[in-house]
Each structure stands twice: as structure tokens, then as C-alpha cells.
Amino acid sequence: MRYTNDHFLKKKKQGEKTAVLTAYDASFAQLMENAGVEIILVGDSLGMVVQGNDSTIPVSIDDMIYHTQCVSHQTQQVLIMADLPFATTYNTELCYHNAARLLAEGGAQMVKIEGGQIMLDTVQFLTQRSIPVCAHLGLLPQSVYRLGGYKVQGKKENDAQQILDDAIAMEAVGADMILLECVPADLAKKITQAVQIPVIGIGAGKDCDAQVLVSYDMLGMSLNGSPSFSHNFLADLAKSDGEISIKSAFEAYVNAVQSGIFPH
């Protein structure tokens, strides 16, 4: 039986942290589940770390369904969250069609959608039709060309307030989770306390309910280096007397998140 959002709501209330990682294939997904990862994100980051593109923009819905299938085939318990890629959410009907495909064909249990106020009606449409949604706020990789690069969002007071308002509004229309990417830690803490639903952070400080990293980053495998907020858990094992393996690196990450050691 796979985890449902009720499991993560309970963990939030109890102050327990959740470890999340990205996976794009069956082998990594199975290792993660065995290591204690409770949510796997099939991210459109595959466009960069798997396909070799310089952004997530070229990733198609068919790419996402294929990789989500790979992850779902060899896992039993983890909640599988899948990204809705670029240009698949520009109207409500199209978004619903693509989200339904990720669940029905890909085997996902939740979809992740980038965007704030402009996506409220769409998120409400999906959740009212039994499609669980994680709202992605802060740095939006699919908007990287408009944003002018991969930059921290919400540093200015009015921008921070907008992200906070968006998070509260997303919860109000039925979003099941929120993912905050590259926002100041104090803003992420404020948002996590302001909403009842679980908040996943990446480059957003230690006070979120969960942490996610791109698996290739935390293994030191990314083609163009890892972001400053990431950490190479595989390299840590090489400096210790423990077993050096990918599964051990995943286990070290899970322990670090659950104990509050990561992020620093």
C-alpha cells in the first residue's frame, strides 16, 4: 500500500521530517524505497541530468509518463509525484488531460505544477476531480528564461509576500502539498507555519516539513555540477569507514533529513 497524503499530514503535525529524492528509473527508485525515502519525485529535471539539455523546457509529457512508469514498476510504498512539464498546463482542460495521463498511464499518485496565482483555478479544477496536486512556488525552472536564470526568489519584501499569499491560496483551493524552491529560509519557515499541508523545500532552509534533492546532485553525478544548497552524500561515505554504495548514500541522506542535520 502506497503512502497517501494523510501520512504526511500526520508527520507534519508530529514535527517529523520527510526525505524526498528524484528518480527517473526503476533501479534508483527501488534503492531509494529500500533506503527509507518516502516520496519520489519524477522531475522534469530529467531533461538536464538524463537527456543532457540545458533546461527542463524540452521535456515532453510522453517523456514524463515513460519515466514515471519506470519508477512505479519497481516500488510498492513510496508516494510517486510527477512533474507536469513545460506547456502542458496552459489551460485547464489540457492540464487535466495530462495530469490524468500521469496517474492512469504513469502510475503517479500526485502531480506537481509550477506557478502561483495564475494556476489557482487549474489546481482547484484538478483537486475537485480527485487529482492530488503539489504546488511549486519560488524558483520556477520552467520560467527560467523569463526569470533571467536560476536565482533565489522572494528576497524583496513584496515578492516574499506574494509567494506567501500564493501558498495560502493554493491550500485554499485544495493543493495537497507545496514545494518551495530557492527562497530565503525565513520565508520558507513562515510559509510552513502558515499552512496546514506539508511543505517540501529545496534550497529553502531547514524548517520545511520535507527536503528534496536531485539524486544526481547528491551523488555528485550531475553533468554541470551541483547547486550550492545540495550536498554530496556519496563523497561523505568515501571519507568514512562505512560502506560506499549508492544505497548507503541514500540512507545517509534520509538520516540527515530526519535528524535535522541536513540542510545545515
- CATH code at position 196: 3.20.20.60
Inter-axis angle of helices 185-194 and 157-172, nearest 10: 30
Residue 125 lies in a domain: yes
Task: Say which of 38, 171, 181, 251 is annotated catalytic.
Answer: 181
Residue 198 near residue 170 (C-beta atoms within 8 A)? no
Rounded to whole angstroms, the Cα distance separating 41 from 17 reads 16
* pLDDT band (50, 70, 90) for residue 134: very high
Q: Name the pTM for this structure.
A: 0.95
State mean pLDDT over 118-132: 97
Q: What rounded mean pLDDT belongs to the chain?
A: 95
Residue 264 lies in a domain: no
State mean pLDDT over 90-109: 97
CB proximity list for 36: less than 8 A, separation 6 or greater: 19, 250, 251, 254
The domain containing residue 60 runs over which residues? 5-259
Helix (H), strand (E) at residue 109? none
Residue 178 near residue 170 (C-beta atoms within 8 A)? yes
Residue 16 a catalytic site member:
no
pLDDT cut 90: percent of the chain above it: 87
Give the per-residue pLDDT at 150: 67
* pLDDT band (50, 70, 90) for residue 145: low
Rounded to whole angstroms, the Cα distance separating 166 from 159 reads 11
Domain count, the chain: 1
In the numeric block, which cell numbers belong to residue 179? 514545494
State mean pLDDT over 131-151: 81
